[in-house]
């Protein structure tokens, strides 16, 4: 849907824990090896949040505080804070409430949004709608996940993939008639994928019990091959749909910003949409799949390279299934200073 009052990203920040989990370290934990992980996934290391009682909000708060500082934003002027996560600190209250309180966003209303690895794009689209309607002028969107909390470190098929991290963006109204900002978003979902990528227990259907813990039902499970195929098809198709809808050619695109699930998925998507890999933002090698955090962490890593007017296509795929694409025209040059 095209937006009337256009929203734009006015700043980006991120946080990843200091603790690094390398492929070599995983070799000591499960039957795997660096060469298999690197060639099959492109992941060399990931960050893990260590410490009793530390949840997703710890990382998100660090990212949001840096964002407020670097954009010189008074937290009391934030209207809305949305946290996309599948690993909230607790079931209730929302992690967004905890973040907003900690950063002093006293006027903001806040809530969590769950769309698995598509969560950040869904939340950014929601923020853009609030800006478009005039209901909010300043929105913070956080993508944050502590995937280590739901990862089974005896299961080599999943534990090699995931990492912890948080990224946050400030969304404001674009300068009038500037042409910058979020131009268009396509969000899709299909619950037919529910049996291919899931965490079974901990919700209302399978509340925590001795049996669910013994069955390892609080960990993330997936059918890797089918998820792989679905991710390639869905992300490629939605990027093509977005580009066709706006008469964009690969040469027009400064960067494709895809969800970081597996480097081979990204390569196949890039090939299918004919965007060269040097125009594909990548951080999977150093952070793994950080679920809702992959996109804002990519923007954080590449912020210094971005220029006003750069055309970006964001693309996501995740559990649900959920997927989507966003077309935006970047609104500022280089890094906002700390």
In the bound complex, what is the minimum distance in angstroms from residue 77's beta carbon to ligand COA? 34
3-state secondary structure 296-323: HHHHHHHHHHCCCCCEEEEEEEECCCEE
Whose CA is closest to 175, among 308, 307, 8, 312?
8
Q: Which DSSP symbol is given to 337?
A: P
Measured from the CB atom, the residue of 28 and 204 that comes closer to ligand COA is 28
Give the interface with ligand COA as residue ranges (CB under 6 A). 32, 36-37, 40-41, 117, 156-157, 160, 197, 222, 224-225, 227-228, 231, 261-262, 289, 317-318
Catalytic hit among 23, 283, 289, 298: 289
Q: Cβ(21)–Cβ(45) under 8 Å?
A: yes
In the bound complex, what is the minimum distance in angstroms from residue 151's beta carbon to ligand COA? 12
Catalytic hit among 83, 117, 187, 298: 117
Measured from the CB atom, the residue of 266 and 329 that comes closer to ligand COA is 266
d(CA 11, CA 25): 35
In the bound complex, what is the minimum distance in angstroms from residue 134's beta carbon to ligand COA? 34
d(CA 147, CA 312): 27
Bridge partners (DSSP) of residue 9 are 171
Q: Cβ(182)–Cβ(6) under 8 Å?
A: yes
| Cβ partners under 8 Å of residue 201, min gap 6 | 207, 208, 209, 212, 213, 215, 217, 218
Q: Is 117 a catalytic residue?
A: yes
The number of helix segments (H) and strand segments (E) in the chain equals: 11, 13
Measured from the CB atom, the residue of 197 and 239 that comes closer to ligand COA is 197
Measured from the CB atom, the residue of 165 and 331 that comes closer to ligand COA is 165
Q: Are strands 322-329 and 311-318 parallel, antiparallel or unpaired?
A: antiparallel
Catalytic hit among 83, 259, 262, 298: 259
d(CA 292, CA 114): 9
Tokens of 62: 């660090």
Q: Is 259 a catalytic residue?
A: yes
Q: Is 289 a catalytic residue?
A: yes
In the bound complex, what is the minimum distance in angstroms from residue 311's beta carbon to ligand COA? 25
In the bound complex, what is the minimum distance in angstroms from residue 290's beta carbon to ligand COA? 11
Measured from the CB atom, the residue of 188 and 246 that comes closer to ligand COA is 188
In the bound complex, what is the minimum distance in angstroms from residue 23's beta carbon to ligand COA? 9
| Cβ partners under 8 Å of residue 319, min gap 6 | 86, 116, 117, 193, 197, 198
d(CA 296, CA 168): 6
Nearest residue to the partner ligand COA, using Cβ: 224
Measured from the CB atom, the residue of 59 and 235 that comes closer to ligand COA is 235
d(CA 303, CA 297): 10
Residues with catalytic annotation? 117, 259, 289
């Amino acid at each position: 849907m095209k937006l009337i009052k256009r929203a734009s990203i006015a700043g980006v920040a991120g946080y990843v824990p200091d603790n690094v989990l390398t492929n070599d370290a995983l070799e000591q934990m499960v039957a795997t090896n660096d060469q298999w992980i690197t060639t099959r996934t492109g992941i060399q290391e990931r960050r893990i949040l260590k410490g009793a009682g530390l949840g997703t909000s710890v990382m998100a708060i660090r990212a949001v505080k840096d964002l407020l500082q670097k954009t010189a934003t008074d937290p009391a002027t934030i209207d809305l804070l949305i946290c996309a996560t599948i690993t909230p600190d607790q079931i209730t209250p929302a992690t967004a409430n905890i973040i907003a309180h900690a950063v002093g966003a006293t006027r903001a209303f806040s809530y969590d949004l769950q769309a698995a690895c598509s969560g950040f794009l869904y939340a950014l689209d929601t923020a853009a709608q609030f800006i478009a309607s005039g209901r909010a002028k300043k929105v913070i969107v956080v993508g944050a996940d502590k995937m280590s909390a739901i990862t089974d470190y005896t299961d080599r098929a999943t534990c090699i993939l995931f990492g912890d991290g948080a990224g946050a963006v400030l969304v404001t109204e674009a300068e009038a008639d500037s042409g910058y900002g979020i131009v268009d978003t396509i969000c899709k979902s299909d619950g037919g994928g529910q049996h291919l990528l899931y965490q079974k227990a901990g919700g209302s259907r399978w509340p925590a019990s001795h049996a669910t813990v013994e069955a390892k039902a609080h960990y993330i499970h997936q059918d890797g091959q089918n998820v792989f195929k679905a991710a390639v098809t869905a992300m490629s198709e939605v990027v093509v749909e977005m580009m066709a809808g706006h008469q964009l050619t690969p040469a027009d695109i400064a960067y494709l910003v895809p969800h970081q699930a597996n480097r081979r998925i990204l390569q196949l998507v890039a090939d299918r949409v004919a965007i060269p890999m040097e125009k594909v933002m990548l951080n999977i090698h150093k952070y793994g799949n950080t679920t809702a955090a992959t996109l804002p962490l990519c923007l954080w890593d590449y912020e210094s390279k971005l220029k006003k007017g750069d055309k970006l296509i964001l693309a996501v795929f995740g559990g649900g299934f959920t997927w989507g694409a966003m077309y935006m025209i970047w609104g500022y040059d280089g890094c906002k200073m700390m």
